Amino acid sequence: MARTGAGRAARERDGPGRRHTAGRAAARRTGRSHRGGTTPPRPPPAPTRAGALYSAHGNTEARATFYFASPLLDLDRRDAARQQAILTEQFTGNGWESDRLLREMRHASDFYFDSVGQVRMDSWTRGRVALVGDAAYSPSSLSGMGTGLALVGAYVLAGELAAARGGHRVAFARYEEEMREYAAGCVKMGDGVAGFMVPGSRFMAGFLNRYYKIMPYLPGKNLMTSLARKTAENISLRDYGSLVKR
Ligand SMILES: Cc1cc2nc3c(=O)[nH]c(=O)nc-3n(C[C@H](O)[C@H](O)[C@H](O)COP(=O)(O)OP(=O)(O)OC[C@H]3O[C@@H](n4cnc5c(N)ncnc54)[C@H](O)[C@@H]3O)c2cc1C
């Protein structure tokens, strides 16, 4: 396991209806932006490890993220010291700016460590209960799609409930119908990004490292953004306001 993308690992593990965890860990820390510019993600060379540094909050902060492939780890979620020790083990001497970032990680007030997982379910509703957002269709933290997807899901569910005047059976069926393809696209995006972030082969890691360096100068530099936008906008939202009789 663990050399493939988060979603692929998830498919191998469980059947529908369970929360999947892919055995990939992420840690994030925030510091002041030290470069004064947007830094594209630059994974270090090991094919099952990736580090990235990006700017946030109007270029006032630099955030570091580490991903590594591993079997699912049995860790106490409150034991930050142990989690940091694991990251240190994984990334020390891994090149790029890893060692400095690991040192700074110990002082981060917003350190975060978790496995990367996706949620795939055959049905998001049962009886009078409906799931929305990550609980129903988490595309993983790697996808960049989770927040928008959750908001769209909430909008569609609320809209269908209103349009059906509270008739939950009709509304739930319409919610699933409207959202199924859109959510699948976002989850697939999570798979694809996982493959890019933690490629799994030295060849691909080497290729991506070179690619990221020249990406800002290439005509197709916005390809990733365009793909993300296409996935995020792949749904025609109904204007429920006009459907609902007042
Ligand atoms: C490190 C990281 C980076 C991410 N980056 C991005 C990104 O760049 N772009 C993007 O779109 N998405 C990103 N995501 C994903 C995004 O955060 C989620 O997809 C999104 O927050 C899902 O929204 P939600 O409302 O479904 O769930 P959540 O935001 O998780 O909200 C669920 C809420 O329910 C509460 N809760 C849980 N259990 C209970 C309970 N028993 N009783 C009461 N309350 C409860 C929780 O405390 C939480 O507040 C990232 C996620 C992570 C972890």
pLDDT digits (tens, 9 = 90+) for 103-123: 999 999 999 999 999 999 999
Same domain, 131 and 207: yes
Cα of 42 vs centre of ligand 1, distance in Å, is 26
What does the pLDDT average to over 5-19?
Answer: 30
176, part of any domain: yes
Kindly state whether residue 60 falls inside one of the protein's structural domains: yes
Whether residue 221 lies inside any domain: the answer is: yes
102 and 145 share one domain? no
Is 5 contained in some domain?
no
Strands 61-69 and 24-32: antiparallel
Is it the case that residue 231 has pLDDT exceeding 70?
yes
Question: Which of these ranges, 5-9, 135-139, 203-207, has the smallest mean pLDDT?
Answer: 5-9
DSSP letters for 154-183: HHHHHHHHHHTTT-HHHHHHHHHHHHHHHH
Mean pLDDT of the chain: 82
Query: Would residue 4 count as lying in a domain?
Result: no
Domains in the chain, number: 2
Task: Render pLDDT for 158-176 as a digit per residue (tens, 0 to 9).
Answer: 999 999 999 999 999 999 9
User: What is the predicted pLDDT for the residue at 126?
Assistant: 97
In contact, 2 and 23? CB cutoff 8 Å: yes
pLDDT score recorded for residue 176: 97
- pLDDT band at residue 245 under the 50/70/90 scheme: low
Neighbours of 215 (CB within 10 A): 17
Is residue 148 lining ligand 1, measured as CB closer than 6 Å? yes
Residue 7 within a domain? no
Among 115, 147, 178, identify where a domain stops: 115
Query: Do residue 157 and residue 61 come from a single domain?
Result: no
**115, 133, 149 — which closes off a domain?**
115
Give pLDDT, residue 154: 98
The rounded Å distance from CA 236 to ligand 1 centre is: 24
Pocket mutation for ligand 1, best pick of 113, 141, 189 (most atoms within 8 Å of C-beta): 141
Phi, psi of 115 (to 5 degrees): -80, 155
**What pLDDT is stored for residue 242 in this prediction?**
82
Indicate whether 111 and 129 sit together in one domain: no
Decide if pLDDT at 9 tops 60: no
Angle at the Cα of 237 from the Cα atoms of 231 and 243, rounded to 5 degrees: 170
Average pLDDT over residues 192-213: 85
Question: What is the reported pLDDT for 7?
Answer: 29
CB-ligand 1 contact for 139 (6 Å cutoff):
no
Give me the domain span that covers residue 56. Answer: 23-115
Q: Kindly report, residue by residue over 49-103, the tens digit of the pLDDT.
A: 888 888 999 999 999 999 998 888 999 999 999 999 999 999 999 888 999 999 9
Pair (71, 168) in one structural domain: no
Domain end point (choices 115, 145, 176): 115
Per-residue pLDDT averaged across 144-163, rounded? 97
